Amino acid sequence: MSEENKNLGDKAEDALDSAKEKAKDIGENASEKFDEAKEKASEFAEDAKEAAGDFADEAKKTANEFADSAKEAFGSAGGENKKVLAGLLAIFIGSLGIHKFILGYTKEGIIQVVATFLTCGAAGIIGLIEGIIYLTKTDEEFYNTYQVGKKPWF
């Protein structure tokens, strides 16, 4: 029996050595696969970063083109033209605050729109009043008050 136990012990040791060898091979293989996955993830991140940069550049280009076309459309208006344009817009659609944006008062234009929505359109009377004021001022008064002096309300 002792010979039989020795043979079983040898077989167990051989099986253990074989299992250790296989585990070692699997561990090395897993390590290689992990390194490959890590490298591919890094490449993907670089590609994504490059694509995001390209998108940002294209968005900036489009925004600049839009700003340039808006400047051409509205920026070329001189004192008289801005006065008439702002006055008419204020009278007819003053509740939307577009006349404020034309004069360069972005914050006040947003306030006008929000106030109109909060008061269900009643704040549009402000636009009507401002339009009348704009059109009754002389060109010089309008220019000095709203374009040089930057007086945003009335």
The share of the chain scoring above pLDDT 70, in percent, equals 81
CB atoms within 10 A of CB 41: 10
Question: Is pLDDT of 55 > 80?
Answer: no
pLDDT above 60 (res 144):
yes
Q: Is the pLDDT of residue 66 over 80?
A: no
Q: 3-state DSSP: the chain helix, strand, coil percent, rounded to 5?
A: 85, 0, 15
Spatial separation of the C-alpha atoms in residues 36 and 31, rounded to whole Å: 9
Pair 99, 43 in one domain: no
Domain count, the chain: 2
Q: Let me know if residue 153 belongs to a domain.
A: no
User: What is the predicted pLDDT for the residue at 35?
Assistant: 81
Residue position matching structure tokens 């204020």: 90
Note whether 66 and 89 are same-domain residues. Answer: no
The answer to whether residues 70 and 13 belong to one domain is yes
The pLDDT confidence band at residue 136, using thresholds 50, 70 and 90, is very high
- Tell whether the model's pLDDT for residue 74 goes beyond 60: no
Q: Is residue 68 part of a domain?
A: yes
Contact partners, residue 145, CB within 8 Å, separation at least 6: 137, 151
Closest to 97 measured CA to CA, from 50, 146, 41, 106: 106
Does position 17 have pLDDT exceeding 70, yes or no? yes
CA distance 10 to 16: 10
pLDDT value of residue 92: 92
In terms of average pLDDT, the best of 8-12, 52-56, 120-124, 150-154 is 120-124
Q: Would you say residue 1 has pLDDT above 60? A: no
The candidate with the shortest Cα–Cα distance to 133, out of 152, 148, 108, is 152
Whether residue 44 has pLDDT greater than 70: yes
Name the residue with higher pLDDT: 91 or 32.
91
Residue 154 placed within a domain: no
Could you list the residue range(s) of the whole structural domain that residue 110 is in? 77-148
Q: Average per-residue pLDDT in the chain?
A: 79
Q: With 60 as the cut, is the pLDDT of residue 71 above it?
A: no
91 with 143, same domain: the answer is yes
* Contact predicate 112/97, CB 8 Å: yes
Q: Do 83 and 142 share a domain, yes or no? A: yes
Among candidate residues 47, 76, 105, the one where a domain is terminated: 76
Do 120 and 130 fall within a single domain?
Answer: yes
| Domain annotation covers residue 96 | yes
Regarding whether 135 and 120 lie in a shared domain, the answer is yes
Residues 116 and 84 occupy one common structural domain: yes
Task: For residue 97, give both structure tokens.
Answer: 């605050």
